[in-house]
Amino acid sequence: MAQHILVLHGPNLNLLGTREPAVYGRRTLAEIDRRLRQLATEAGAQYASLQSNQEGGLVDRIQAAATDGTDFIIINAAAYTHTSIAIRDALAAVAIQFVEVHLSNVHRRESFRHVSYLSDLAQGVIVGLGAFGYEAAMRYALTA
């Protein structure tokens, strides 16, 4: 079971709750984070999370995970999923197992969202299940 779980949220996910609710749901990021923290701490794991609108901020946090005890990452890199070789390289460099999450079913959307720079490195990918996808990823982390 993972002991130190890091959850990373990419750009515009700070707007959850009001951002295109028909696509992303009405749960706020704070509500999602609260639930994930609860699941982790109930299981005796450490929980950390970061939302950043900056690619470099996400890269820096992934690099820091190499030395802060993180043994599992749950990441919704949002739009950077489809563009960021830098985030891919950081995840490859730290070699910490991770699950990629997307609230929406990216495969039902525009073709540019069908490409992920992360998926082939991920332990698993969860799309289209809304906030429950994060919870499923957390439950997996707590058994991994």
Residue 21 in contact with residue 32, Cβ under 8 Å?
no
The reply on whether position 103 binds ligand DQA by CB under 6 A is yes
| Closest separation in Å from C-beta 40 to ligand DQA | 20
Residue 112 in contact with residue 83, Cβ under 8 Å?
no
Tokens of 7: 């959850």
Active site residue 80: no
The reply on whether position 51 binds ligand DQA by CB under 6 A is no
The H or E element spanning position 92 is: helix 85-94
Tokens of 10: 């990419």
The reply on whether position 9 binds ligand DQA by CB under 6 A is no
Q: Which of 90, 102, 117, 141 binds ligand DQA (CB under 6 A)?
A: 102
Q: Which is nearer to ligand DQA, 1 or 115 (CB)?
A: 115
Please name the amino acid found at residue 33.
D
| Residue 63: closest CA among 93, 83, 98 | 93
| Closest separation in Å from C-beta 63 to ligand DQA | 22
Q: For residue 127, what are the CA distances in angstroms to 34, 77, 105, 107?
A: 20, 12, 5, 8
The reply on whether position 88 binds ligand DQA by CB under 6 A is no
Q: Which stretch binds ligand DQA (CB under 6 A): 30-38, 46-54, 59-67, 75-83?
A: 75-83
Site residues, ligand DQA (CB under 6 A): 12, 76, 78-79, 81, 102-104, 106, 113
